[in-house]
A and B are shown apart, each in its own frame.
Chain A
């Protein structure tokens, strides 16, 4: 009897004494999914994370939200496609009827922050990894270059935006000032310049990564937008003096497939000819490709009548910028789109639009697939030369400026001595206009014109007739969805 009582007691004790090792028992790690706290933790992770930042450049949304609104807003281009396609979504960019809920604003805004976050992953987490120090600092420098690139779009498109430099931003961030954004951009680029290798130092498999020259060229451009011509000159001249770049002998190769990662390409976005973003395709070329026959894309970004008429007589860059119906390119005859009028006139009979397409996105082939493989150039050497010319002229060095301006004109001439004569004037204001005009013809439909007009104060004159309102349309409205999401913390840009 005693024994059984003891055994009962023991039984009870055993049950209630086995108090479980709670903490361990209740710890279940997620299965089959890689969580953020486990990444990046190794040298190979660091490479993956760095590559991922570049990936965000290839997204459709990265390209100004999908549609080439930066050219559409300029005097260089109209919406394109057929008249009704995206008339209410993209159309308003053509005549500055842009509202805070305008299609595409949220896409671009989001895409840039996706890029910023990915850059922040590298900048914040890669330093914690035990790995080769040279590679480690290069990865971080690449990410800083790209972060500056994203914020440079931000500050030009919207002015000050919420400044995120960590992977774990708080809720309720307010807009930083334009100055704060520029400070980050300049700091990022300067530290990238100190570390990034030259383009020639990369092995061929790494071509396409950010280089010291790309960072300098971008910084030169940043200073131009700051009207800091001394610094702009310094960095542009650094690139030129490195003597690693030259102009493609054939103008169309500057953006074309033959010049992919070529001598003129300072920074470009690699892509593969496949109609799938996840597999390496880039829809930038498809969005603007010839519409109809051949079917190479949607046909957005139609060269404006003004642009067509602005080229100097015989400038081969006209053909290198505009595809007209009836042209034959790489053996393919351009017939165009059946639903797009060949010529559109206003009520007075004035021609306001001619069906034509952007030559800069041409990739040989008669299919849409080929255009998905366009390597979009973000910075090319001709731009660097013209930036140098502009800065030198502003800094009172017209002779030097003429050297670089005429290098660009010489290539454009394509060996024909009868056209595009060298510029000789050293009058600062005359030269200023000529350099600016050269930018339009050299870099047309590459997404630079609108911001060039804004930064040089020419926008009211040139774009006023198109609907541009001074004090308003220099920057875009903050997407209404973001203002709503911030519960009113984000303040809208003036006059929107």
Chain B
């Protein structure tokens, strides 16, 4: 009872304490105070506006409205003007009368003057924006339970394709913006609070305020030779100026993952029957054979947890955000998990009226276990093998080995810490000038550890001596950026200029060690001692191995100069000029510096007088841009000519090996970055007071100087089939993007819809021409001498390559009548003599499909009704094909996909499914294994309930919401594999399904708590 009373007095102790503290500070400053309360709501939707800011004019003192749009504000007696502001609405100034209750109706700004958009090196007023830029806000970034926040962009932003490479816990997705602009690394760069990064897997989604995708050259050219594949600018959360008290947020979520879709494979009996079809009498009593479902044995339900807590707020001079997050994903395959702790602290200190200092720092320790590639093994393992022998030991599985044994003996770990952050100082002077200097670092330290004990499962699956591998790597990048900006509204004119110079330096090193025959198998002994294993009977002579080097892509320095001028006349006519000059250590003296300009124009048509009659039209803006951007993520070390020092010559009467060394691979000292020129024409519209918004873009990107290896004439002395790297390929990506949104309220029901789509036309314009005769880039290597992609001029990057088929040979006479390969039989696939030379041979292999979708789209819907909220996000793509490579790599007798049950057994029995066989002819790369990769996926469905504030207030809780969620609930696709999303960072192997760790469906329950 005593305790309860105390609690009642002081409220939630922490929050109240903090609140009291700040109130105290404020009350010291203003001896005489009065309390103003009120509700802020929107004039158009009649909704209250939570998070609107109320500020005393001429000070930084302010408050933010609560969840119900209400505020309470202690202000000094006397003449006080309050400024009310909210994003998307016209800021209002109200001079206080004697009235202590001030309710404010906010009017939406037609061209939202106050709304700003995060762009490179600062922000721009949305109305002044001429680039193709899309922003996703915090609510949409936390929907999917995922390690990498970028997963949430799938289907959300026109022009952005996010594809999971696999379901391996801790694996980052493959991100492509507006097609594939290179055969090398086509990933965008990330800019987190100004720090330029190549990966953001260290970030907790909940710590992100917004993600802005810069797509066209007007927006990306300010990032120079790193912007060509798009730029994703991320702002993390900070305390809001004027937010008097501390807001505590707690989120917790628990989910269960299961494999989204299993592949239909043969059971033991069916398998034996199929083998008997082409090897009669192999299995006599098929009913007595074991029946093992290997997929069921390796996949299981697995939990996923995500917890986070944060405190944010601001005092008069300090804005702060402190967040902690814990993400823990078990894999659906044993021996795989990913656990991550994120510690986040953002502070801004206003030292004087003119000087600010601040920091944004995230420190992320993580641990990961990586399972061996048992998915492909389980897919191929014969179902007639019991996993265990009667004595409990692992059974031998022909050809592929026992997947369960592979798991049991695998111990493969990564652990490390990543710290990304910056400190910055800002000085404003002469009213309109701000100088900002920011020093950021990205430090990564990783330790890999793998241990395989000695074991024997079968003569092909064994390890004679235990093997311990360790790998250390570290990477430190620092980035120092100095900018000066000038913003001034002259009434008729508005000028926004930013200029600066930056320096960046990146270093790294790695060390790999292996040791053998570790004295004990348990982890306490996983330390490398000098080991020497000499076992002549097994040809083992191992003294351990040390590899110590660095990754050249993380070893460079840069100096850059940049400037952007944004000029707006009469709020209607906008001109943006940007220019960046990048100097990079990656390139030789003569190619060291690159210039990257862009120009863009915009016309706020809706501001014109003649448009004001069109009442339904709330916004109309035309814009166009052109510019040149580069991609420096290239294997630039190919510019060095190397010395080959592994040569041995045999001299002397004793025939001893004498060392030799001479010139090796020839480098190309003229290598430079890849260059993209991009044209963008866009239209932004708003109808019915912006209830309906639309954005349309046409883009045309041409990337030239793409790095390709070309064979050079033999007289250079490099040896047979060795290639030199040249800037010698050109690729075009063009298409349309649209993004439509509808937002309205009917009675108590608030709802919104969004739909976006992108068409992609990807085409290789040229390959080679600099040297030699190479015009084809092969990829999708099957490991057996065959490639399944061949990229040629006129085709998309990574185009599939193989025989075209035309049914099956039904009879011997039909077989005899057609050109065929020597090992063709009746009932097998009829490959088409494409070149019509009357012979069937390798030259008849041709283009059989593209891995690049022609259309990607997303759809989202949200509803809110009396505290109940429902969100649905759908994502999909069409026009792409998938090469089911896992089905055709058959050097041995493996299990089959169940369609083999329809196999041809005699004339007329099938016209599509060839006669069953263990491999060979019918498994050559052909269009028979190319499948439609189109899909439509329910990315997430979330049903939530927010308790009425009347109830929650009694327990000092501002907001309490519980929700149920399903990620990847359902996918419509014709594709037979685990998932139609086959991401690959290698553009020449994308869409080739090698049977990777499958993606999962996740069912979760969660809780949000604000107080």
Contacts and interface: CB of A to CB of B under 8 A. Distances in A.
Contact of B650 (A22, A36, A272): A272
Given A118-B663, A204-B653, A113 B717 contact: yes
A261 to B, nearest CB: 5
B540 interface: no
Interface in B508-536: none
Contacts of B656: 205
A25 B642 CA distance: 24
Given A33-B642, A113-B716, A118-B717, A270 B660 contact: no
A255 to B, nearest CB: 15
A54 B585 contact: no
A173 B713 CA distance: 9
B288 interface: no
Nearest to B508: A31
Contacts of B501: 16, 19-20
A27 interface: yes
Contacts of A121: 662-663
Contacts of B783: none
B663 A51 contact: no
A27 B435 contact: no
Given A110-B719, A279-B648, A485-B772, A51 B714 contact: no
Nearest to B664: A36
Contact of A164 (B354, B556, B637, B717): B717
B282 interface: no
A208 B663 contact: no
A356 to B, nearest CB: 29
Interface string B710-748: 011111111110000000000000000000000000000
A7 to B, nearest CB: 9
A271 B650 contact: yes
Contacts of A107: 720
Nearest to B551: A31
Contact of A39 (B557, B661, B667): B661
Interface string A154-173: 00000001101001010101
A30 B637 contact: yes
Contacts of B503: 20, 25
Contact of B655 (A35, A209, A270): A270
B31 interface: no
Given A37-B641, A52-B662, A173-B713, A58 B649 contact: yes
User: B425, B503, B642, B648: which has the most chain A beta carbons within 10 Å?
Assistant: B648
Interface in B349-406: 352, 354-355
A169 B716 contact: yes
A111 B583 CA distance: 40
A495 interface: no
A28 B663 contact: no
Contacts of B482: 15-16
B657 interface: yes
Contacts of A50: 660
Given A205-B652, A270-B650, A33 B713 contact: no
Nearest to A164: B715
Nearest to B548: A32
Contacts of A173: 713, 715
A133 interface: no
B718 to A, nearest CB: 8
Nearest to A260: B655
Contacts of A27: 585
A34 B642 contact: yes
Contacts of B716: 113, 117, 169
A486 B651 contact: no
Nearest to A277: B648
Nearest to B429: A8
Interface in B644-675: 644-664, 667
A410 interface: no
A25 B557 contact: yes
A30 B713 contact: no
Interface in B539-566: 548-550, 552, 555-559
A31 B549 CA distance: 8
B210 interface: no
User: B640, B645, B650, B655: which has the most chain A beta carbons within 10 Å?
Assistant: B650
Size bin of chain A's contact surface? 35 or more
A206 B719 CA distance: 27
Contact of A26 (B585, B644, B650): B585
B714 A113 contact: yes
Given A35-B640, A113-B717, A162-B713, A11 B585 contact: no
Given A28-B555, A279-B657, A34 B643 contact: yes
Interface string A270-286: 11100000111000000
B773 interface: yes
A161 to B, nearest CB: 8
B715 A52 contact: no
A38 interface: yes
Contacts of A115: 717
User: B435, B646, B713, B773: which has the most chain A beta carbons within 10 Å?
Assistant: B713
Given A25-B503, A173-B713, A270 B663 contact: no
Contact of A169 (B550, B559, B715): B715
A27 B712 CA distance: 29
A55 B555 contact: no
Contacts of A487: 772-773
A106 interface: yes
B126 interface: no
B549 A28 contact: no
B661 A48 contact: yes
A106 B720 CA distance: 7
B432 to A, nearest CB: 14
Contacts of A22: 559, 583
A8 B354 contact: yes
Interface in A468-491: 479, 481-482, 484-487
A204 B659 CA distance: 17
Contacts of B703: none
Interface string B961-993: 000000000000000000000000000000000
A35 B642 contact: yes
B761 interface: no
Given A51-B651, A205-B651, A482 B713 contact: yes
Contacts of B662: 48-49, 52-53, 117-118, 121
A61 B720 CA distance: 9
Given A171-B771, A482-B713, A482-B714, A55 B652 contact: no
Nearest to A59: B719
B557 to A, nearest CB: 6
Given A114-B717, A261-B653, A30 B663 contact: no
B799 to A, nearest CB: 22
A11 B435 contact: yes
Interface in B462-476: none
A45 interface: yes
A243 interface: no
B569 interface: no
A300 interface: no
A382 interface: no
Nearest to A22: B559
Given A20-B559, A54-B651, A12 B583 contact: no
A207 interface: yes
B592 interface: yes
Given A8-B427, A169-B716, A484-B773, 12 more contacts: A8-B429, A16-B501, A28-B557, A31-B552, A33-B640, A51-B660, A109-B714, A113-B714, A113-B716, A208-B652, A270-B649, A280-B655
23 contacts: A4-B354, A15-B435, A27-B585, A28-B585, A31-B552, A34-B643, A36-B640, A39-B643, A49-B660, A51-B647, A52-B644, A55-B648, A113-B717, A114-B717, A116-B717, A161-B715, A162-B713, A162-B715, A164-B717, A205-B656, A269-B650, A279-B648, A481-B773
Closest CB pairs A-B (n = 5): A117-B717, A270-B650, A51-B660, A52-B662, A52-B660
